[in-house]
Structure formats: C-alpha cells, structure tokens
Amino acid sequence: MTAPARILVVFGTRPEAIKLFPVVHALKADPRFECVVGVSAQHRQMLDQVLTIAGIVPDHDLDVMQPDQTLDALTANLLIGLGKVMDAVKPDRVIVQGDTATAMSGALAAYYRKIPVDHVEAGLRSWNIYHPWPEEVNRKIIGAMASLHFAPTTTSQAALLKENVDPARVHVTGNTVIDALHWVTDEIARKPALAGGLAELEARFAGRRIIGVTSHRRENFGDGMEGIARAVRDIATRPDVAVIFPVHLNPNVRQVMNGALGGLDNVALIEPLDYPHFARLLSIAEIMLTDSGGVQEEAPALGKPVLVMRETTERPEGVEAGTAKLVGTDAARIVTELSTLLDDKRAYEAMARAHNPFGDGQTSRRIVELLAHEIGQ
C-alpha cells in the first residue's frame, strides 16, 4: 500500500485560516494524505479564533507576531522559521493561500528546498504593485514558483495564462471561502450560541437598516481612513440606518475611527469578530462597506451588495457580475453610493440578486482530487 502523501499547509492570518480550514478538513478526511498544519501566527488573536472554531490544532506554531514589526523583519522571521518547519516535517508538497507575507515566505522556503508549492486562490491581479500593497507582489512571487495554481475563477485563470503560466498547471476550482461560509452557517444553525454575541446589538438596532463596515488596508492609512470615517459619520445621520463596525486592531485604524465615530448613537464600534459572529453580521447587514478582499467574495454568497473602498480590486469578477462596486475612499462618493442603495430598491436588488462568481461550496473537494491526481493516486 502506498504511503499517504505528506502535505504541509502553511498559513498565519485570519483570512488565510478561514480559506484553508476547509482544505485541512478535506485532507485530514482523506486517507491518501497526511496533513500537517504549520502556522506563523502573523495575526495571533484573530488566527486563534478561527482555529478554535474549526477544531484545528497546529502541529507547528511560530508565533511571529511583534508590535510594529516591519515588513522586512517579518519576512525574514517567516522565511527562517518556516524553513525550519519544513526541514523538520519533510513534506512532499506545501500548500499556501492568497498573498500574505506568510504565504510568500512559505512558498519561497519550499522553493529553496525544491518542494512543490500549491497555491490556493491563485491568479488574483490588480496589475498595480502598490494596490493592494504588498499583496500584489506577494502573489506574483508565489505564482512564479507554484506547481499547481488553484484559480478561483476564469478571470484569475486568464491572468495566470497572461503571465505565461503552463495552462496544464492552472485549475479553476472556485474559492474556498464559500466552502468556509457554508460550513460555519451550518454550524450556527446547529449551535446558535456560536453567534449569539450580536444579539444585544440586533435588539438595539431593531427596525434600522444595518450597514456592516470593515476597513484595514495599508494603502488606506491616513487620508483614506479619514475619508472612510467621514462617510460613516455622514451616513449615520440617517434615522433609518445603523452601522456595525468591527474595528481592526491596527492603531492606524483605531485612532481614526474612535476619534471620528466614538459616541455616535447608531454606530457600534466593536472589537474584531470571530468567524461565526462575522458570518452573522453578513447575514443581518443590508449592505457591506469594506476595503477587504474576502468580504467581496463572502457577502454576495448571502445576497448582500458590497461597496469596495478601494481604487482597484484583484477581484474584478464581482464588479463585472454586479455584486460589488468600487467607490474609493472619497467620503462624498461613498455616501452617494450608499444612499443610492438605501433609497433605490431597483439598484439594491440588481446587486443583491446578481450571480456570485466565486464558488459553489465544493472547492476544497476539487483541490483534494487535483492533488491526488498530481501524486498519482
């Protein structure tokens, strides 16, 4: 009997954990594979929340998070630490996801050891190396080394082919975030207490139209954050609206938002949410206002329009499908676009009913089968 292939799955941030836990579950359930989990803890607290909910205990934990750590110091620590993990584990293949420093460093450490790297959520491109920064370059670096490219959509597939990636190595799988959202929604249905922490806010804002807000992008620090804060403050003057805003831990976000929005009656500035509570926010919100990448994929799965507070997006599929709209960080424009969705039922329904291009909840199964085919099983 052939020994199972040893797969090292590497991640370190909350979004990576959300998008990779369905892959870990699928690998662990398949006797053709031995799944080893290595985390960098690039986001310690937010990562641990997802690990707990998903029932995953890492086999290796680098715990690299340090206050005000520079990107070069973080990358150096990741590259050395993940290299040591690979030397200990001796995996047959390494899986990374997306475009974080952890993913890029994990791919590079594997490449240095001639271990094949498989890239989940491959092919996202904004074609601007500073938007999003540094993610656009991170994912291009991974793409140059990857063995298998699991592209979420035909658009991401086309981006890879444009960069002369071998078409035989590119597979359109959908996005694992939809698998994760389906899984956690089912868990909440079985155990409502998992997302019960928003009950007080739901009661407080009963009868109001909830706008969910997330913001954390580095390129929005400074003037961008100020514009976002002004827009939220302006829209919150409407008596029919309430805003729920889980505020990112980064002081570049917190200081601006607390200063501009603290104390407003119908704005709830709350701590970052664990995954079940975030899924609950998506379900109760009428509109999502975000500069996040993942929300552009998740909210449409629940029929919620997304206004993207960025100038470019590496997820143009959502914009093309009509589930998302780029609005930048100009306060007046954000308010105008929000008001249109709140006041024009046809405009709202056009976005809410648009087809979600990001997946059907079967992506992890497809990835495991592609890996099995690659190793000849």
In a domain, 306, yes or no: yes
Q: Catalytic site residue 216?
A: yes
In a domain, 190, yes or no: no
Residue-wise pLDDT tens digits, 9-60: 999 998 899 999 999 999 999 999 999 999 999 878 778 989 999 999 999 9
For every residue of 209-255, DSSP letters joined together read EEEEEE---GGGTTHHHHHHHHHHHHHTTSTTEEEEEE--S-HHHHH
Classify 8 as helix, strand or coil: strand
The single residue of 16, 30, 99, 291 carrying the catalytic annotation is 99
In a domain, 212, yes or no: yes
Residue-wise pLDDT tens digits, 192-212: 999 999 999 999 999 999 999
Instruction: Based on the fold, state whether residues 201 and 163 are members of the same structural domain.
Output: no
Q: Catalytic site residue 99?
A: yes
Report the alpha-carbon distance of residue 46 to residue 58 in Å, rounded. 15
The single residue of 6, 182, 218, 254 carrying the catalytic annotation is 218
Instruction: Based on the fold, state whether residues 104 and 218 are members of the same structural domain.
Output: no
Residue-wise pLDDT tens digits, 38-50: 999 987 877 898 9
The single residue of 16, 30, 61, 121 carrying the catalytic annotation is 121
| Percent of the chain surpassing pLDDT 70 | 100
Instruction: Based on the fold, state whether residues 148 and 295 are members of the same structural domain.
Output: no
In a domain, 271, yes or no: yes
Q: Which pLDDT belongs to residue 217? A: 82
Q: Token pair 């892959």 is at which residue?
A: 23
Structure tokens at 91: 């995996």
Instruction: Based on the fold, state whether residues 339 and 366 are members of the same structural domain.
Output: no
pTM of the model: 0.85
- Say which residues have a Cβ less than 8 Å from residue 314's Cβ, sequence separation at least 6: 124, 125, 126, 132, 135, 136, 139, 293
Confidence band for 1, pLDDT divided at 50, 70 and 90:
low
The single residue of 30, 135, 297, 317 carrying the catalytic annotation is 135
Q: Please check whether residue 36 is in contact with residue 57, taking contact to mean a CB–CB distance below 8 angstroms.
A: no
Confidence band for 131, pLDDT divided at 50, 70 and 90:
confident
The single residue of 216, 277, 315, 366 carrying the catalytic annotation is 216
CATH code, 295: 3.40.50.2000
Q: Catalytic site residue 121?
A: yes
Instruction: Based on the fold, state whether residues 28 and 134 are members of the same structural domain.
Output: yes
Q: Catalytic site residue 218?
A: yes
The single residue of 238, 248, 254, 365 carrying the catalytic annotation is 248
Number of domains in the chain: 2
Q: Catalytic site residue 16?
A: no
Instruction: Based on the fold, state whether residues 139 and 160 are members of the same structural domain.
Output: yes
In a domain, 274, yes or no: yes
Instruction: Based on the fold, state whether residues 220 and 83 are members of the same structural domain.
Output: no
Q: Please check whether residue 299 is in contact with residue 211, taking contact to mean a CB–CB distance below 8 angstroms.
A: no
Residue-wise pLDDT tens digits, 298-349: 999 999 999 999 988 888 889 999 999 999 999 999 999 999 999 999 999 9
In a domain, 180, yes or no: no
Instruction: Based on the fold, state whether residues 111 and 166 are members of the same structural domain.
Output: yes
Among 205, 197, 204, which Cα is nearest to 240's? Answer: 205
Instruction: Based on the fold, state whether residues 114 and 159 are members of the same structural domain.
Output: yes
Instruction: Based on the fold, state whether residues 57 and 125 are members of the same structural domain.
Output: yes
Structural domain for 34, as ranges: 5-175+360-374
| Percent of the chain surpassing pLDDT 90 | 84
